Amino acid sequence: MNQTDVRNQTDSRPHAMPPEETPRVDLWADVLIGGCMAMASMGIFIASGNYARENMPVSPEVYPRLLAGLLGPLGLYLLGRSVRRLKHSPEPAGRRKRIWPVIATVFLALVAYVAVMTMAGYVVSTMAYLVFMMRYLGERRLGLIAVWVLGVTLGLYFSFQQILGVPLPRGWLGS
């Protein structure tokens, strides 16, 4: 196994490609982001007008408007550049494997963890989250899961709550 293979296995970054080989879906993302940036800039520019104060040489609206004034044109430039590149980008080689369901699951699990923490407290929510995530990611060794779950949950509890004096969220079951 050479170094490149190892790197491809562990490299989670999008692989750097020359612009002319950027996949169409990524260019469409840039089109969307460029357009959103331009529209957001316009919205910020308009909304900033509410913060104007006459008795100040540099009023609160000046700085955000300056930034929005820079971001808007750059967003439009990005949009235009991406549209130009779309004409030359390669057609997709095959169906890309959908990763968004996995990302959505992980994201929603995090949101649920935080939500449950507000109700049930740190210990219960953390244990539940760790068990769910480890099982979801494919870990089947229950003994290992138990060791890590208990170790991390209680270790952090002891470190933060007792040593550092940082109170952790409490719920109806205590911490």
Partner 1 sequence: MPMDAYLHYLWIAANPMALGIVTLGVALGIVIGALPGLTATMGVTLLMPLAISLDLGPHLSLAMLIGIYVGAIYGGTITAILIATPGTPASAPTVLDGFPMTQRGEAGRAIVWATLASFVGGVLGALILSFLSPQLSRFALRFSYHEYFALAVFGLSMIVTISGRDVLKGIISGLAGLLLATVGLDPVAGIPRFCFGFPELFSGIGFIPVLIGLFAFAQVFSEIPELSRKGFTLPHLRFSYPSVKEFFRYRFTFLWPGTLGTFIGSLPGAGCDIASFVSYNEAKRLAKPGDRFGDGEPKGIIASESGKSGCTGGAMIPMLTLGVPGDAVTAVMLNALVVQGLQPGPLLFRDHADVVYPIFLTMILANFIMLVLGLLSARYTSRMILIDKRVLLPVICVLSVIGAYSLQNSLFDVGVAVAMGLIGYGMKRWEYPASPVVLALILGPMAEQNLRRAMLMPGASPFDFFTRPLSALLLLIAAATVVTGLWKHPGWKREEG
Please, which of residues 2-21 interact with partner 1 by CB under 8 A? 3, 6-7, 9-14, 16, 18-19
# chain residues binding partner 1, by CB under 8 A: 73
- Give the integer Cα–Cα distance in Å for 159 and 140: 28
Among 24, 76, 133, 171, binds partner 1 (CB under 8 A): 133
User: How far apart, in whole angstroms, are the C-alpha atoms of residue 113 and residue 122?
Assistant: 9
Pick between residue 83 and residue 169 the one whose CB is nearest to partner 1.
169
Q: 22-41: which residues touch partner 1 (CB under 8 A)? A: 26, 29-30, 33, 37
Q: Considering only residues 46-85, where is the footprint of partner 1 by CB under 8 A?
A: 47-48, 51, 53, 56-60, 63-64, 67-68, 70-71, 74-75, 77-78, 81
